[in-house]
Amino acid sequence: MKKILIIYGPRGGFTEQVADSLKSQFSRKFDAKSLPGSMVTSSTFREFDLVIFGIATLGQDSWNAGRQDIDVNQIQVIINKFDFTGKRVAIFGLGNSILYPEHFCDDMGIMEEILQGKNISIIGYTSTYGYDFKDSKALRKNQFCGLALDNDTEHEKTESRITAWVDAITTVLEK
């Protein structure tokens, strides 16, 4: 059975809720585990077939602003130190498309750029169809580089977007 690790930060909010929902849905077909970033070490990754990173773009507290919590800081450390050669990785990000329409899910895009240099396969890109935002560092042509969610202003769309993403990733993993 394939194993999936979902690593998220920060704890205690929508990012953790999404990680829990992903774990629940993936657990139907795979061995899935979710952990906050601060509970992960570089040795944790070795046993998993897919690693999913989840991060929130929190206004001015962005990936490179230097003000992240302990979970996000540890995710940065792990990404910079771990050898991802041959691993499959997916990303989900949360943002607010109303308050920050020019920076919707930016941190997901920043993370993806760093991961691109790690000799890995990134899966789980999603269409921008149905989203209302002005710009995002997570934008790759007409797709996001992962699952983009706005649980602040579009919470009614979150579960269906998660389900569609899980289904798409499951199809890739089962090949």
Q: Which domain holds residue 137?
A: 3-173
What is the reported pLDDT for 67? Answer: 54
Q: Specify the pairing of strand 3-9 against strand 126-127.
A: unpaired
Q: How many structural domains is the chain composed of?
A: 1
CATH at 60: 3.40.50.360
Please tell me the distance from the alpha carbon of residue 148 to that of residue 56, in angstroms, as a whole number. Answer: 10
What is the reported pLDDT for 13? Answer: 87
For the chain, give the mean pLDDT: 90
Q: Specify the pairing of strand 88-94 against strand 50-56.
A: parallel
What is the reported pLDDT for 36? Answer: 95
Q: How many CB atoms lie within 10 A of CB 172?
A: 13
Is 18 exposed, middle or buried, given 0-12, 13-18 or 19+ CB atoms closer than 10 A? buried
Both tokens of 93, joined, read 């990000």
Q: Which pTM was predicted?
A: 0.92
What is the reported pLDDT for 12? Answer: 84
Question: Which residue blocks in 68-154 are alpha helix, DSSP H?
Answer: 70-81, 106-116
